[in-house]
Amino acid sequence: QQQVKQSPQSLIVQKGGISIINCAYENTAFDYFPWYQQFPGKGPALLIAIRPDVSEKKEGRFTISFNKSAKQFSLHIMDSQPGDSATYFCAASNPGAGSYQLTFGKGTKLSVIP
Amino acid sequence: DSGVTQTPKHLITATGQRVTLRCSPRSGDLSVYWYQQSLDQGLQFLIQYYNGEERAKGNILERFSAQQFPDLHSELNLSSLELGDSALYFCASSDSPVDTQYFGPGTRLTVL
């Protein structure tokens, strides 16, 4: 059972454009939603994270939008740059049991073309 | 650089063998998580330790085990290896059981 569904699998965006990646979750106990960026040969790196008490969080060119009722959240990358080309993973966790173990989406490979 | 180190970077072994992957968390971090990344399953949580004690268990096979030592480094032991165990294994650390996780560079395991 895939608890976090991510789409699209791959995305091609022109430089300067907006990249949008969507995730949906099933477990209503999730209450921490991070996004990770992974370059080839590297480990995932935390990009931005949100908790369900806010509907949007912005850090630089990266914004998370969160819709609790729809159980969906998305990552928007404004003014996308070739250096943003990477695989992006959404994730969710339920820390109620005292652990932030992450349940990841399958990933989105983003290519930003000049 | 996340501050989390993992050794070895690459490991090639044969089916039926046993290997040990090592992780050193960021300075001061008490919590260590292990994840497996494969093409078909994606990133999956295996197990978490906090200050030497097992805190949470995920999709970890019985052939796999882990421990966290008094100096807080952790080892993931994989035994009776099968072809399907070939994957990237990541360690992540955080400074409490419920905080942001920082991932290491991973160990790529190839089972032939």
- Residue A100 Rama label (left phi>0; alpha psi -120 to 50; beta): alpha
SS3 A67: strand
CB contact under 8 A, A46 and B4: no
Q: Is it the case that residue A63 has pLDDT exceeding 60?
A: yes
The closest CB to that of A99, out of B44, B97, B103, belongs to B97
Residues of chain A in contact with residue B98, where contact means CB-CB under 8 angstroms, are 95, 98-100
- pLDDT value of residue B59: 83
Q: Specify the pLDDT at position A76.
A: 98
Instruction: Quote the longest CA-to-CA distance of chain B.
Output: 38
A96 or B53, higher pLDDT: B53
> Quick check: B10 contacting A, CB < 8 Å?
no
What mean pLDDT is predicted for residues A49-77? 95
Mean pLDDT, all residues of chain A: 93
Measured CA to CA in angstroms, residue B26 lies from A64, A110, B6, B30 at distances of: 27, 29, 11, 9
- pLDDT given for residue B82 in this prediction: 97
- What's the confidence (pLDDT) of residue B23? 98
Check residue A97 and give its pLDDT. Answer: 65
Q: Where residue A89 falls among pLDDT bands split at 50, 70, 90?
A: very high
pLDDT of the residue at B2 = 87
Residue A107 has pLDDT above 60, yes or no: yes
Tracing tokens 């990770």 back to the chain, one arrives at A36
Q: What is the mean pLDDT of each run of 10 residues along chain B (112 residues)?
A: 94 97 96 93 93 91 96 97 97 81 96 96
Residue with tokens 């395991």: B109
Smallest Cβ–Cβ distance between A98 and the set B4, B58, B98 belongs to B98
Q: What pLDDT sits at residue A87?
A: 97
